[in-house]
Structure 1
Amino acid sequence: MSTTTTAPKATFLNILRIKLTKIGRTERRYIDRAEENVRAYAEALADANIITDDERDELYDKAKDAAEAAVRAFKDAEQA
């Protein structure tokens, strides 16, 4: 089992944070794909032992919340 130092882990998590913010900025029809991209990246980080399974699960929840918020924003914009 390999481990990473703090600097690469921070870099990987920063990339993941950027992917999370992109969920809210994507077109409505691609929100599910953006969420799946974040979930897959988090899974890859967990598989590589860069993050723990608990951190992965937390990132899954964040991706789901971001996707739901993006859908709500689109629905609110349509109603206005």
Structure 2
Amino acid sequence: MSVAERMKNDDKIDHIAVRTGLFTLITARLEDAHEIAVKGQSTKIDEQLVSQLSSDLESNLDEIQILLNATAVILNLRPAGS
């Protein structure tokens, strides 16, 4: 039996708490992305910093995608009728 199948049958998982926690993390990553984007708007930064900010933003967006994927997984694991 796969981990996903075992989790689907586990009544101890609070699907709502997991979902809201994931969205909390997504919100935090979006706020981080906003901060990075604001820094990148400055006319007084060098190309090295622009490159670093771009890399940081890309990593941040990758994290958001992972959290969104986890959200989809938890939605598929919720018990019928909830």
- The TM-score with structure 2 as length reference comes to 0.48
Answer 1 or 2: which has greater helix percent: 1
Q: Which structure has the bigger radius of gyration?
A: 2
Which structure carries more relative contact order (alpha carbon 8 Å, separation 6+)?
2
